[in-house]
Amino acid sequence: MAISSAIMLGGALLGQGFGSLFEGIGDSYSQKAQADFQAKIYESNAKLSDVSYQDAIDRGEEAVSAHRMATRKFLGDQRVQLAAQGIDITSGSARKIQEDTRLLSKIDEIRITNNAYREAWGYKIEAIQASASGQFVRTAGAANAQSTLLTGISGFGSSMLRAGSAFADATTARSNPKKPIG
């Protein structure tokens, strides 16, 4: 009776060992796949941020161009109004008004460009962070998968040792029936 108990225990330990091994393998693949999926999401976000970076610069250039056109129209309107009043637009206060308008317009162009580049820089930082996060997730996922696999292998090895011990006890008990199984 004691021998069959030892054999049953050994068989159960073998089953437990294989269960640990297969669970470790399955969990390892699952962790790796999940990390790869998350990394792809981060990489996709990085690409979208790069597109947004270029879009912000392009929109800034378009805004500067539109502002220049509006300034030229405004300067033309100023000249027409001044000339309609009989004022010489090439000298004195009339000339100073036009110079101030050009100067303020140039300051506005710089502000528009600066704002566009600040927005673009924010997108560039997002892209860098997303790319780094993707690399980190992929590396961490691989490390976690290896750790899980090693845990499964360790559980398998431990169960195999205990099963071997149980079978050895059963074999010893069979050859020496008076020795108690412990």
What is the domain count for the chain?
A: 1
What is the DSSP secondary-structure string of 67-123? HHHHHHHHHHHHHHHHHHTT--TTSHHHHHHHHHHHHHHHHHHHHHHHHHHHHHHHH
Range of the domain at 143: 2-175
Portion of the chain with pLDDT greater than 70, in percent: 86
What is the number of other CB atoms lying within 10 angstroms of the CB of residue 156? 21
Q: Within a domain: residue 135?
A: yes
Q: Within a domain: residue 180?
A: no
CA distance 148 to 145: 5
Q: Within a domain: residue 182?
A: no
pLDDT of residue 1: 47
For the stretch 20-59, pLDDT in tens is 777 777 777 777 778 888 888 989 999 999 999 999 999 9
pLDDT of residue 7: 65
Q: Within a domain: residue 55?
A: yes
Q: Within a domain: residue 80?
A: yes
